[in-house]
Amino acid sequence: MGSMVHEALELLYKSVKGGRVESLDWLLNKYREVWDKNYEDNIKIVKKEFTSEDYFNKGKQCLKDYYERYKPFNQSKIVDTERMIRFDVKYNEHKCLFNGILDRLDWNDNENIFEVHDYKTSNTLMTQEEADNDWQLGLYHVALKEIWPDVEKVKLVWHFLSFNKEIVSSRTKEQLEELQGNVIKKVKEIMSKPLITVESDTPIGSALEMMVEKNIRRLLVTEKGEIVGIVTQKDLMRGTLEAFHAL
């Protein structure tokens, strides 16, 4: 549901960026189109007390609340939506390349700052302390400073759509330096651990058993000793379902 709400909002803001504010009915119709295109009956619903229609209606309400709160969407100028970014995290002599996707990037010409907007459809609400210590949007600030070196302050905005609430934070220069140091430290910890791999012809069941045993969600895939890809727990579960339906 979350990805479909994201896509509907992306379509809305692309239209706004082009100079046209669409109606709420237009937005909800786009959401229905995205849902019908992407939803499949074999998608597993974990909470058995809810149906796919319940999740659809939840997303619909999220969009209604958001639209009514922010229309006509002129709080700032839209730079991009679903923007892919590649940037370096640096600390002392260490450097690591990261990728990310910004839900929405705005320019606020009243405050003369960039705004990073992130949509959340979860049922849990982030605290202010969690927002002030969040790595993801903090790293997006690092990325913007690499793209535009004169960037100083960036407004970090989380939209918790299920609650119709936004939480705002920012980072100082010192906090960004500390963040990069913590990220580099974590990367070094991960890289120091032995790699857990499976051969490309490993049965799905065996790979799943290995994940459970090692308490991990991803495995590197190898062929003749060379790493050729990565497989996630979700990939394996999907493969299991497809095999079951083929019986």
pLDDT category of residue 243 using cuts at 50, 70 and 90: very low
pLDDT at residue 246, as a whole number: 41
> What whole-number distance in Å separates Cα of residue 139 and Cα of residue 163?
25
Please write the tens of the pLDDT for every residue from 84-131.
998 999 988 888 888 889 999 999 999 999 999 999 999 999 999 999
Provide the pLDDT for residue 245: 38
3-class SS letters over the chain: CHHHHHHHHHHHHHHHHCCCCCCHHHHHHHHHHHHHHHCCCCCCCCCCCCCHHHHHHHHHHHHHHHHHHHCCCCCCEEEEEEEEEEEEEEECCEEEEEEEEEEEEEEECCCCEEEEEEEECCCCCCCHHHHHCCHHHHHHHHHHHHHCCCCCCEEEEEEECCCCEEEEECCCHHHHHHHHHHHHHHHHHHHHCCCCEEECCCCHHHHHHHHHHHCCCEEEEEECCEEEEEEEHHHHHHHHHHHHHHC
Q: Is the pLDDT of residue 241 over 60?
A: no
> Starting from the edge strand earliest in sequence, which strands make up the sheet with 197-199, in order?
197-199, 218-223, 226-232
pLDDT band at residue 234 using 50, 70 and 90 as cut-offs: low
Question: What average pLDDT does this structure show over 34-41?
Answer: 82
pLDDT (tens digit, 9 = 90+) per residue, 126-185? 999 999 999 999 999 999 999 999 998 999 999 999 999 999 999 999 999 999 999 888
Report how far residue 177's alpha carbon sits from residue 145's, in angstroms, rounded to the nearest whole number. 12
Summarised one tens digit per residue, pLDDT across range 44-86 is 555 667 888 889 999 999 999 999 999 999 999 999 999 999 8
pLDDT of residue 247: 39
Task: Indicate whether this model's pTM tops 0.75.
Answer: yes
What is the structure's pLDDT at 242? 44
Contact by Cβ (8 Å): 171, 154: yes
35 pLDDT exceeds 70?
Answer: yes
Span of 105-109, 217-221, 227-231 with lowest mean pLDDT: 227-231
